[in-house]
Amino acid sequence: MSVEPEDENDHVNSWEDLLRWKPDFPDVIQMRLRTVARLVIKTTPRDGDDMGQLIVACLGASLPDIDDVMTLSHKNSHHSAGKILRGFFERVVSIKYLSENPSEVQRFLDFAAIDTEDVIRAIEQTVGISMEEPSRSNLANAATAARKLYKQDKCSQCKKPRYIGWTGMNTKDMADRVGLGHMYLHAFLLTSKVLHTTLWGMRNIVSRSAPIINNLNCLHELIIHLIILHRRHFMTDFHGQQLQKIQVTPLMTAALREFLRTWTYSTTSFDGIFTRGSVDSKGQRIYY
């Protein structure tokens, strides 16, 4: 017999519990997975639209993440699903931040030379294969220039410069800046402790199962943010002018309503898009 939990976080600890509570949830995610795939296939950013290229790349890279989280959840491998969710969350936070701060897009692109140089150098050292000239020298020069640009203060102990990435913000600060801070605990902090070698993470893995509902709530909302990112950037009116961010397309409306029907009670960041919700005792906006 199917029993509706008194609270969404009660009694939903396994895939079987989830199906008793929301039997159509896998179909909901599968439909949105197909939506994201269609947006990737049907979108061709115009020349020079770096932000558009990044959004499409983010959507494409997220497709296997969404599928993997659902597959692992189906196997009740919730800690492993959380590890995939962590990368998905970090990617959406970064792209959402860039879309709201377009002046930093070039910084993100320039930093790619460092990442590529790291990979190419490791391949050279391991198997002796490298890029042909002058491409190899051009990459090395670009990486050197980027390292100078992004060099941070030296470590007080080892005296070596620290490289923290294309932005000086950590993931928590960036998530807060783009309205995704409410997912940081479950989608990044706890999953990071499990992903990396920490005593807390090892103990947590062997002592209990990560709640499936935390992973899937975050997964669902991140998919919605992907769709919103795409629609805000690429949807134009009949005059070719960018739509104002407050405007909601039919696809966004359907996705948002579906999310709120599924979860009923959610701390989201959809202010100004669909509904403003109400404020709880902690000052967070709650949607019903």
How far apart (Å, rounded) are the C-alpha atoms in residues 92 and 80?
19
pTM flag (> 0.85) = no
Q: What are the sequence ranges of the domains in the chain?
A: 15-104+172-287
Within 10 angstroms of residue 113's Cβ, the number of other Cβ atoms is 19
The candidate with the shortest Cα–Cα distance to 227, out of 254, 196, 197, is 254
Q: Map tokens 């976080």 to a residue.
A: 9
What DSSP state is assigned to residue 14? S
Using one digit for the tens of pLDDT, what is the confidence trace for 63-74?
999 999 999 999
Give the pLDDT of residue 268: 72
* Mean pLDDT value across the chain: 84
Q: Which residues pair with residue 287 across a beta bridge? A: 266
Give the C-alpha separation, 220 to 92, whole Å.
Answer: 12
Backbone angles phi, psi at 25, to 5 degrees: -60, -45
What strand order describes the sheet that includes 278-279? 266-267, 285-287, 278-279
pLDDT at 238: 44
- At residue 288, the pLDDT reads 43
Compute the distance between CA of residue 10 and CA of residue 15 in angstroms, rounded to an integer.
Answer: 14
Residues of the chain predicted below pLDDT 70: 1-10, 151-164, 209-210, 236-247, 265-266, 269, 271-280, 282-288
Give the per-residue pLDDT at 52: 95
pLDDT of residue 235: 79
With CA atoms as reference, report the closest residue to 229 among 60, 52, 66, 83: 52
For residues 127 and 111, give the distance between their C-alpha atoms in angstroms, rounded to a whole number.
Answer: 25
Cα–Cα distance measured from residue 173 to residue 270, given in angstroms and rounded to the nearest whole number: 19
Distance CA 242, CA 120 (A): 39
Which residues make beta-bridge pairs with 278? 286
Q: For 202-256, what is each residue's pLDDT tens digit? A: 888 888 766 799 999 999 999 999 999 998 898 765 445 555 544 677 888 889 8
Cα(first)–Cα(last) distance of the chain, in Å? 26
**What's the confidence (pLDDT) of residue 152?**
59
